[in-house]
Structure 1
Amino acid sequence: MKKYISSFVTGFGAGVLHVVPVAKSLACCLIVPLASFISLLLDRKANPTSEKITMKKGAMFGLVTGLYAALFATVFDLLITLITKNNDIVSMMPELQKMIVAFPLSESLKSEVMRLFESVRNDIINYGFSSLYTFSIIINNTVVNSIVGTIVGLIGAQIINHKLNNSNEY
């Protein structure tokens, strides 16, 4: 755990920002990548060395940061949904219905999709919890954040190594 403390800290921050209304839309493309990169920088500050960051280390820091961000984002989202009995699906249901009607799908498929969304919405309004919603955000957050975190961990390692090379040339 101590090895990945910077991933824990930045993953926690990214997880918190996942539930902030405006920042939520930037989570996968800006917040998690920044958290992965910053976790590498924090690790470099905590463990000063002139060695390059290996690709394996960059990928692992990105992956662990993404997984921590997914964990905290999911927990905070479910907690807020449980307390308020409201979330994006509940508040955006009229727009969601219009969007599904516009899809070029069969009527039976459209009605099945709407039935599922109505079920999720009703569960959240009545109980503050929906197992289908929980399952979907766990899968979504875990897959997206871990992939994005790993990719940016690799890119971040290259950026830090490039800066390290440039500073050693002078």
Structure 2
Amino acid sequence: MQQSTSAIPDFYYALFAFYEPALTILGFIGAVHDPETTHNTQAPWPADNPPPATLPKASIVTVIQLAHVCALMGVVNFFVLTAARKHLSTQLAIQEKIIFALMTPLLMGDCMHLFVTLWALGDERWDLSQWSPMLWTTIVLGFSLMIPRIMWHLGIWRYVDTRDRQLEVTTDEKK
């Protein structure tokens, strides 16, 4: 018997159901533990205008709320991907549509996150030598999720119903 294929094979499942939630949860924990450092290391500060010694309460709340939303998205990934793999394993076309409904806004979010981060940096966006370690981490980890999401959308290393259903029918007919 041939092994079942999936619209979310192990590579993508590990990446989006474990790696991404782990990143987002760790980011949330870091923000809760030290919201001031989280805030102050997001972008370079001008030499003549260092970050504030203490953040206003509104800034602390905003940093923690944003980190919470990121963690929530990571947890949603885990539950949706796990449910789709478990309950739709024999209905690949439906599985693919459900995963598409999750991956599409996440890919749009990846692109917008990169865009707004660079946009918000203003004229300093291409002065890479001034980027903080947190900014580098944000960009690199963002690409580590965006590129595989693009690969998923391109049908690389996964079941694509419009392409692979015909192969399954042809293979079954030969048996």
**TM-score normalised over the length of structure 2:** 0.30
**TM-score normalised over the length of structure 1:** 0.31
